[in-house]
Amino acid sequence: MDIRFNGKAIPIQEGDTVASALYRAGQRIFTRSFKYHRPRGLLCCSGHCPNCLMNVDGIPNVRTCITPARAGMAVKHQNARPSLDFDYLAIAQQFDWMMPVGWYYKNFTNPRMWHLAEAQIRKVAGLGDPPPPDAPEAVYEHAHMQAGVAVIGAGPAGLNAAREAASQGERVVVVDDQPRTTPGDSSYTLLSRSYCFGLYEGNLLGVLQSEPHSGARERLVHIRAKRIVVATGAYEAPLTFKNNDLPGIMLSTAVWRLIHRHGIQPGTSAVIISNETGDSAIAAELRNVGIAVVATVPPSDVLEATGSKHVTGLRTRRGAFACDLVVMCGHRIPDAGLLSQAGAKLEWSAEAGAFVPTELPPNITAVGDVAHALVRAASTLVSMPNKRTFVCFCNDVTSQDICDSVAEGFDHIELLKRYTTTTMGPCQGRMCQLQAIGICARETGRAIQETGVTTSRPPNPGVTLGALGGARHHPIRRTPMHYQHEELGAVWMDMGDWKRPRYYKSAQTERESILREYHAVRQAVGVIDVSTLGKLSLKGRDSGKLLDKVYTNRFSDLKPGRVRYAVLCDEAGIILDDGTISRPLADARGYNTGDPGGTRSVAPSVSAGTIDDFFITTTTGNLDFVEQWLEWWLAGAGWDVQINNLTSALAAVNLAGPKAREVLSALTSCGLSNAEFPYMACRNAEVAGVPALLMRIGFVGETGWEIHYPAESGEHLWSALMDAGRPFGICPFGVEAQRLLRLEKRHVIVGVDTDALTSPYEAGMAWVVKHDKADFIGKFALGKLESAQAQQSLVGFTMNANQIPEDGAAILVNGALAGRVTSARYSPAVEKAIGLAWVTAGAAAEGAQIEIRVAGAPVRATVTQRVFYDPDGARLRM
């Protein structure tokens, strides 16, 4: 049983962490420091400090002191070249005079310089490397729990609280960062190897669980608890003296863990730094395992530690002692970060020598050491300025740096934090905060309470991005005909969550495939899946009233069996969405299948409805918004309207082209002639035996029908259309052909050709605004806009060029910026490049000459207000 450390086999024992196995094998330097590349060894052994961060199985910055060792693990050191033992970047220590506190704020004021320096600094400093893009993907997942009581910390106080709550019948969850097993009789759920990284509003806990089951690396558990008991205890923080960061200088709790948890003897002769007089408990522990205690000295007597890669002695006011272990009995600090996040106040207690939480919010309690710190080793906070006395182990901030910062005026604790980066490293202040506050207080002559603490914010400790992202459950929306498109060679595009065929691969190139689809629609017949359109049905007496209020045009007078184009604006007169609104026939006129009743029961809203029924289509991306917008104007109005979202219930296709009528007539007995079914009419009919709502509309500019029908018959009707259309050369077409077809007709796409400032007047759609309505959303603003001089307008353009401008390309008039392109394509009908563009009022005249920037160079183009293809719409009425 072993792990591999930099390729070398390291034996592991039962209960080992990665760090304990390495320590037992003789490893003393675990990391090189952030800035100066000083050797660092085990310090806290409890997952708080940055001294043991390594790359484990490709994941950087793993806290090896709390990561159970598993056979076969691949462990690598970080931030040292070529090795931990010899790191040539340790030369940085000789240049510390070049890198005073805030050195890059002082030296890299020129942004270009910083740009160059940043990459170099990142190579030298920093914390490990992210996994390479081709690394095998680790499994991360989320889970949710509801609890009556959540207890953070499974120490004696936490478990007591858990048992007590469970005995009162509460559902209890206990969270603990150590590997523990639940006692068999337990009345609570235990999440072990789990740390709580944040306490959020509404008593939501963010908990990160390591290896929840064999397949997963981490699980992020969201726990919503009625009551939270914080039993996080207290942790020990280091003392400050010169060279206090040498390997071999450890916290007493770390020494205790190495001895008791791992059976390791962490040295042969030790000096204890403690305020306790007489024989301390830790001295007895050391002697028990055969470590000689050379001396016990109070912190105020310590001058410096000696040694280069490991401690060899301690110089004190009482003399110099040779040793290979220095045990710091440091400050015991309540681990109150979660309480502080919950809104508790932290107050300085001189007698405890710590900040103690007070004023806990309701439903949050603190038990054990976190509530009242034990004064186990009260010691002086004061340390003299020195360039080798480390306050912040994460970012290499010394006591000198803190003093300099105060001298430079960054003397508020929050400013000092940001300027020096103390408390901003992986330990998030656990190791350094109290020392930094202490020095700041002394240097400014303020009391500690007055100096205050910095704010604790989640996540603390850090969380991997993988865990926050969770499992890959990105939702995908598929139309009922999805797999038929796939069989036809669809090349997909994403539209929100939807997958839509951009085009069908039918020729060598994309361009040829799209042109083939285009010509089929213009010359024969094409069919496109438009199931992604938003589809809403409106029922109730006041439906027309709602539509008149919300849409700019009028619908209460829409005759049954008719369809009308619809534009939605907000109160500022900005176009929000467009679509069609149909009013299916009040009776079965035009419905020729002979079974209107039967169809009504199967599909009420696509069959002949009541006089008050309306059917709305919205653009694909705006359905959610439009539904909410309608519901909002309805809320509290007391009107009789029921809105039913049928988007997922209905499939929809658009069959278009000069042969569309012949194809459709093979599948329905509904009369399709111009007399029976004119342009902008709608009918209920069966198509291929499926009840459907047919609308004769023409987004692509040819005779055609949009057919809405139940989704479960999606494949059936599509197949029927393809079969019936085969003799006529039917071709399925995708979004790209549709966009070209509509562009030739100058039909606007909301959100592509319009933006968050576009009114119907600027977009050339003044006719959709019915000012004779007493009131509607946007009426006031549109009234103003109607009489105002438009700053810009949407125009068409043509250009004799093989280059097609990109969407967003700049428009120039006499070399000055005068607008931008919104859509541009090569038009087979015009045999030129055509497009839509926003231009300033001066450049909007018919025939005006403009220049469009294509691939960096201006290309001449001509403005036109005319429709590019079939301007009279004759083909729609054929």
Partner 1 sequence: MSFLLACPECGERSAYEFRFGGEVKSRPQQGDSEEAWFQYIYTKTNEAGEQEEWWFHRNGCRKWFQALRDTRTNTVIATWYPE
Partner 2 sequence: MKRSALHRWHEKAGATLAEENGWYVPLRYSNAEQEAGAVRGSVGICDLSHLHEPLSPYARFLIAGPNTRAVLSKLTSLNLDLTKAYGSVAHVRSLVTRHELGFLLMIPRDYAESVWESLLHAGEEFHITVFGLEASRRLEA
For binding to partner 1 (CB under 8 A), which residues are involved? 200-202, 204, 224, 571-572, 624, 627-628, 631-632, 635-636, 774-775, 779-781, 784
Burial class (CB in 10 A: 0-12, 13-18, 19+), 135: exposed
Looking at beta carbons only, is 274 or 607 nearer to partner 2? 607
Cα four-point dihedral sign 819, 821, 822, 828: positive
From CA 123, how far away is CA 62, in angstroms rounded? 19
At its nearest, how many Å lie between partner 1 and the CB of residue 200? Answer: 4
Of partner 1, partner 2, none, which one does residue 471 interact with (CB within 5 to 8 Å by kind)?
partner 2
At its nearest, how many Å lie between partner 1 and the CB of residue 864? Answer: 35
From CA 863, how far away is CA 846, in angstroms rounded? 6
Cis peptide upstream of residue 458 (ω within 30 degrees of 0): no
At its nearest, how many Å lie between partner 1 and the CB of residue 775? Answer: 5
Cis peptide upstream of residue 247 (ω within 30 degrees of 0): no
Looking at beta carbons only, is 483 or 632 nearer to partner 1? 632
At its nearest, how many Å lie between partner 2 and the CB of residue 144? Answer: 4
Of partner 2, partner 1, none, which one does residue 200 interact with (CB within 5 to 8 Å by kind)?
partner 1
Angle at 860 between CA 855 and CA 864, to 5 degrees: 120
Of partner 1, partner 2, none, which one does residue 137 interact with (CB within 5 to 8 Å by kind)?
none
Looking at beta carbons only, is 108 or 639 nearer to partner 1? 639
At its nearest, how many Å lie between partner 1 and the CB of residue 573? Answer: 9
Looking at beta carbons only, is 693 or 750 nearer to partner 2? 693
Cis peptide upstream of residue 461 (ω within 30 degrees of 0): yes
Looking at beta carbons only, is 784 or 866 nearer to partner 1? 784
Q: Provide CB contacts within 8 A for 356, sequence distance 6+.
A: 334, 336, 346, 347, 348, 349, 371, 372, 373
Q: Report which of 530, 507, 504 is spatially closest to residue 656, judged by C-alpha positions.
A: 530
C-beta separation of 501 from 490 below 8 A: yes
From CA 825, how far away is CA 749, in angstroms rounded? 14
At its nearest, how many Å lie between partner 1 and the CB of residue 359? Answer: 14
From CA 620, how far away is CA 533, in angstroms rounded? 5
Residue with tokens 């002769």: 269
HSE-up (13 A, CA, CB side) for residue 834: 23
Looking at beta carbons only, is 383 or 647 nearer to partner 2? 647
C-beta separation of 243 from 386 below 8 A: no
The alpha carbon of 637 is separated from its chain's Cα centroid by a whole number of angstroms, namely 37
At its nearest, how many Å lie between partner 1 and the CB of residue 771? Answer: 10
Of partner 1, partner 2, none, which one does residue 635 interact with (CB within 5 to 8 Å by kind)?
partner 1
Q: Report which of 756, 748, 858, 832 is spatially closest to residue 795, judged by C-alpha positions.
A: 748
Looking at beta carbons only, is 315 or 554 nearer to partner 1? 554
Looking at beta carbons only, is 114 or 780 nearer to partner 1? 780
From CA 559, how far away is CA 555, in angstroms rounded? 9
Looking at beta carbons only, is 280 or 552 nearer to partner 1? 552
Of partner 1, partner 2, none, which one does residue 114 interact with (CB within 5 to 8 Å by kind)?
none
As given in the structure block, the two tokens for residue 199 are: 């306490």
From CA 476, how far away is CA 136, in angstroms rounded? 24
Looking at beta carbons only, is 170 or 245 nearer to partner 2? 170
From CA 500, how far away is CA 873, in angstroms rounded? 28
C-beta separation of 257 from 45 below 8 A: yes
Q: Report which of 47, 209, 96 is spatially closest to residue 142, judged by C-alpha positions.
A: 209
Of partner 1, partner 2, none, which one does residue 648 interact with (CB within 5 to 8 Å by kind)?
partner 2
At its nearest, how many Å lie between partner 2 and the CB of residue 64? Answer: 26
Of partner 1, partner 2, none, which one does residue 636 interact with (CB within 5 to 8 Å by kind)?
partner 1
End-to-end CA distance of the chain: 82
Q: What is the DSSP letter of 43?
A: S
C-beta separation of 285 from 255 below 8 A: yes
Of partner 2, partner 1, none, which one does residue 816 interact with (CB within 5 to 8 Å by kind)?
none
At its nearest, how many Å lie between partner 2 and the CB of residue 51? Answer: 34
Q: What is the DSSP letter of 315?
A: E
Looking at beta carbons only, is 446 or 477 nearer to partner 2? 477
At its nearest, how many Å lie between partner 1 and the CB of residue 781? Answer: 7
At its nearest, how many Å lie between partner 2 and the CB of residue 407? Answer: 51
- Using CB under 8 A as the criterion, which residues of the chain lie in contact with partner 2 when the complex forms? 141-146, 213-216, 222, 224, 471-480, 482-483, 497-498, 531, 601-606, 645-650, 710-716
From CA 811, how far away is CA 836, in angstroms rounded? 11
At its nearest, how many Å lie between partner 2 and the CB of residue 685? Answer: 16
Looking at beta carbons only, is 112 or 213 nearer to partner 2? 213
Residue type, 218: E
Of partner 1, partner 2, none, which one does residue 185 interact with (CB within 5 to 8 Å by kind)?
none
Of partner 1, partner 2, none, which one does residue 596 interact with (CB within 5 to 8 Å by kind)?
none
Q: Provide CB contacts within 8 A for 558, sequence distance 6+.
A: 544, 564, 581, 583, 614
Of partner 1, partner 2, none, which one does residue 779 interact with (CB within 5 to 8 Å by kind)?
partner 1
Beta strand 189-191 with 172-175 is parallel
Of partner 2, partner 1, none, which one does residue 602 interact with (CB within 5 to 8 Å by kind)?
partner 2
Which SS3 state, helix, strand or coil, does residue 96 take? helix
Burial class (CB in 10 A: 0-12, 13-18, 19+), 30: buried
Looking at beta carbons only, is 85 or 712 nearer to partner 2? 712
Of partner 2, partner 1, none, which one does residue 631 interact with (CB within 5 to 8 Å by kind)?
partner 1
Of partner 2, partner 1, none, which one does residue 88 interact with (CB within 5 to 8 Å by kind)?
none
Looking at beta carbons only, is 477 or 545 nearer to partner 2? 477
C-beta separation of 769 from 819 below 8 A: no
Residue type, 793: S
At its nearest, how many Å lie between partner 1 and the CB of residue 202? Answer: 4
At its nearest, how many Å lie between partner 1 and the CB of residue 201? Answer: 4
Cα four-point dihedral sign 254, 256, 257, 263: positive
From CA 682, how far away is CA 667, in angstroms rounded? 17
Of partner 2, partner 1, none, which one does residue 721 interact with (CB within 5 to 8 Å by kind)?
none
At its nearest, how many Å lie between partner 2 and the CB of residue 627? Answer: 12
Looking at beta carbons only, is 216 or 801 nearer to partner 2? 216
Of partner 1, partner 2, none, which one does residue 571 interact with (CB within 5 to 8 Å by kind)?
partner 1
Looking at beta carbons only, is 112 or 472 nearer to partner 2? 472
At its nearest, how many Å lie between partner 1 and the CB of residue 637? Answer: 9
